[in-house]
Amino acid sequence: MLQKCLSLVFVITVFSQLLHAQMSKDTGFFVSIGEEAPAVEMMLTSGEKLTLEELRGKVVLLQFTASWCSVCRKEMPHLEKEIWQVHKDKDFILIGVDYDEPLEKVVAFKEKMKVSYPMALDPDADIFAQFAHKKSGVTRNVLIDKEGKIAFLTRLFDAKEFQALKDKVAELVDEEQ
């Protein structure tokens, strides 16, 4: 009997440690691959308003960013060159969603980073909060397929994960081309 109890305690302890390890690797996303993307309305720096609903039929990549984010600044040239420039003339749009900064700062940031993809404002990080916990870190990408479902999620800027994102964008964009 004692051996069974000790075995049960061991199993519970191991399970608890595995659960804690998984939670510590949590990316902070509220959404999952395969789910429909939340209904989002964005104001671009150009003044144009867009909704994800209006973008149905296109592959959409939302890049959450901020001028103060060093990892975002590291990732943006790769997004520009390796994803936006490759797919911009197809059924694809990449939108940088700037985390709670004023228009002037976002415009200056876009110019400094030399990116040509559109940027959207996210006052109070309300758009961000529909995808992830506000305090979970800004560097992330949400890839949405032509039907409006989340197809890929990234956090931070990792070479292998970025390559997987590039591959998934190419797969989705080129599906029916």
Q: Where are the domains of the chain?
A: 30-174
Count CB atoms within 10 A of the CB of residue 130: 16
30-174: CATH architecture = 3-Layer(aba) Sandwich (3.40)
Q: In terms of residues, how long is the chain?
A: 177
Q: What is the model's pLDDT at position 175? A: 75
Convert the pLDDT of each residue in 33-88 to its tens digit: 999 999 999 999 999 999 999 999 999 999 999 999 999 999 999 999 999 999 99
Q: What is the pTM of this model?
A: 0.84
Q: What is the model's pLDDT at position 1? A: 62
Spell out the residues 6+ positions from residue 97 whose beta carbon is closer than 8 angstroms to its own: 42, 62, 63, 64, 65, 119, 120, 122, 127, 128
Q: Is it the case that residue 12 has pLDDT exceeding 50?
A: no
Convert the pLDDT of each residue in 110-161 to its tens digit: 999 999 999 999 999 999 999 999 888 898 999 999 999 999 999 999 999 9
Secondary structure letter of residue 79 according to DSSP: I
Q: What is the model's pLDDT at position 30? A: 85
Q: Is it the case that residue 166 has pLDDT exceeding 90?
A: yes
Q: What is the model's pLDDT at position 137? A: 85
SS3 80: helix
Q: Is the separation of the CB atoms in 38 and 130 below 8 Å?
A: yes
Closest CA to 144 of 30, 29, 25, 32: 32
Q: What angle do CA 36, 43, 67 make, to 5 degrees?
A: 95
